């Protein structure tokens, strides 16, 4: 088969790769019909995720058709359309039994990280019982593709972890694909104000298009949040960029008793200003998704209350994967958000 192979920092290629086969009875083989590129993939390529083995097929977001199932798989069958989540979960380790699938001791973020991923013609998905979901007939690949990661991440690690509620002022620092997914999913809880904060004007415009009430540059954020909250600060701040300055801004904008939810993938240490925060009674959360929210989010898509296809900026055939990465990596020039590649 053909696949996007990581050969080391700044080295990828679309090339021949051995077809995947079943290893355990809990595996499935999925023919990939639609996939996409994530910021986490670019972190790997830059060398920011050094435990990814050279020769790994990248990608952890995929939609496809089941080709083959292991003997223990009962939830899907050959011919079924499915989504493969960005985390694989054994279901029985210390963390899975606490529904923390992202921390699974036998899986977690495995696809495209420790094992071959979804940017290929075929992929093996371990622990299929907990790691794939059938797709309702009425939904297209594009409608469900972002459930595999960014929608679940924005919703679970941002909105739910931040305990967003009706009337809240929510400041989302970073309006890339995950930040914009957070803008979309936060609206399910009727906050009073959603503020998107980003350096890039085109992303601020997109945030407004998707339902943010305000979209400002970082240097404007303090004044706006203070005006909206009588100087108290935001009820919830969500860091969705993965760099020190956005995280520090999120920590600076939160009110006493407020919540900071970190989504961003960080490659370097970040300062936590405990000299300012020690007495503020804030809650800080971090993590990656469990993807257990997928059935609820899928119902919202069916009901028409959630539509993430608006995040698609580019569509390409699967074999144009290298061009897709080039487009995605030059987002400042191409205005790329999500590059979708279909077989």
Q: What is the pLDDT of residues 161-187, one digit of tens each?
A: 999 999 999 999 999 999 999 999 999
User: Averaged over 261-282, what is the pLDDT?
Assistant: 95
Which one, of 268, 259, 261, lies nearest residue 153 by Cα?
261
- CA 214 to mean position of chain CA atoms: 23
Q: pTM of this prediction?
A: 0.96
CA separation, residue 3 to residues 59, 118, 196 (Å)? 10, 8, 36
Model pLDDT for residues 215-224, shown as the tens digit of each residue: 999 999 999 9
The confidence band for 117, taking pLDDT boundaries of 50, 70 and 90, is: very high
The per-residue pLDDT for 306 is 97
The confidence band for 272, taking pLDDT boundaries of 50, 70 and 90, is: very high
Three-state DSSP state, 333: helix
Model pLDDT for residues 220-242, shown as the tens digit of each residue: 999 999 999 999 999 999 999 99
Cα 325 to Cα 6: distance, rounded to the nearest angstrom: 12
What's the whole-number average pLDDT of the chain? Answer: 97
**DSSP, residue by residue, 245-280:** HHHHHHHHHEEEEEEEEE-S--SS-----HHHHTTS
Which one, of 86, 85, 87, 69, lies nearest residue 77 by Cα?
69
The per-residue pLDDT for 251 is 98
DSSP lists the bridge partners of residue 84 as 62, 132
CA separation, residue 10 to residues 38, 47, 159, 212, 322 (Å)? 15, 8, 33, 35, 12
Cα 264 to Cα 242: distance, rounded to the nearest angstrom: 4
Q: What percent of the chain has pLDDT above 70?
A: 100
Alpha-helical regions (H) of 113-215: 128-131, 141-145, 150-152, 177-186, 201-209
The confidence band for 123, taking pLDDT boundaries of 50, 70 and 90, is: very high
Which one, of 21, 11, 3, 121, lies nearest residue 58 by Cα?
3
Domains in the chain (CATH in brackets) are: 2-149+290-342 (3.90.180.10), 152-285 (3.40.50.720)
Model pLDDT for residues 25-51, shown as the tens digit of each residue: 999 999 999 999 999 999 999 999 999
The confidence band for 76, taking pLDDT boundaries of 50, 70 and 90, is: very high
In total, the chain counts a number of residues equal to 343
């Amino acid at each position: 088969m053909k696949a996007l192979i990581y050969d080391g920092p700044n080295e990828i290629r679309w090339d021949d790769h051995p077809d995947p086969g079943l290893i355990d009875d809990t595996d499935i083989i999925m023919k990939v019909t639609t996939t996409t590129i994530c910021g986490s993939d670019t972190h790997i390529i830059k060398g920011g995720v050094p435990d990814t083995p050279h020769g790994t097929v990248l990608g952890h977001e995929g939609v496809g058709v089941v080709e083959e199932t292991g003997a223990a798989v009962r939830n899907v069958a050959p011919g079924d359309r499915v989504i493969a989540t960005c985390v694989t979960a054994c279901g029985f380790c210390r963390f899975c039994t606490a529904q923390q699938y992202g921390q699974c001791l036998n899986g977690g973020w495995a696809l495209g990280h420790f094992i071959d991923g979804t940017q290929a013609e075929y992929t093996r998905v371990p622990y299929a019982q907990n790691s794939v979901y059938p797709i309702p007939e009425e939904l297209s690949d594009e409608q469900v593709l972002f459930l595999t990661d960014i929608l679940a991440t924005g919703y679970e690690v941002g909105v739910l972890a931040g305990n967003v509620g009706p009337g809240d002022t929510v400041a989302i620092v970073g309006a890339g694909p995950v930040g914009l997914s957070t803008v979309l999913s936060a609206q399910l809880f009727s906050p009073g104000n959603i503020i998107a904060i980003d350096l890039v004007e085109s992303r601020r415009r997109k945030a407004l298009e998707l339902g943010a009430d305000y979209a400002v540059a970082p240097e404007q954020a303090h004044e706006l949040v203070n005006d909206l909250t009588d100087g108290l600060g935001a009820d919830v701040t969500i860091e969705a960029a993965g760099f020190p300055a956005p995280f520090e801004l999120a920590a600076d904008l939160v009110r006493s008793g407020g919540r900071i939810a970190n989504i961003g993938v960080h490659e370097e240490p970040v300062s936590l200003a405990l000299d300012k925060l020690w007495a503020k009674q804030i809650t800080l959360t971090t993590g990656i998704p469990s993807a257990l929210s997928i059935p609820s989010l899928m119902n919202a898509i069916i009901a028409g209350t959630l539509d993430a296809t608006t995040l698609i900026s580019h569509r390409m055939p699967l074999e144009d994967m290298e061009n897709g990465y080039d487009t995605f990596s030059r987002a400042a020039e191409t205005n790329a958000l999500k590059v979708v590649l279909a077989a």
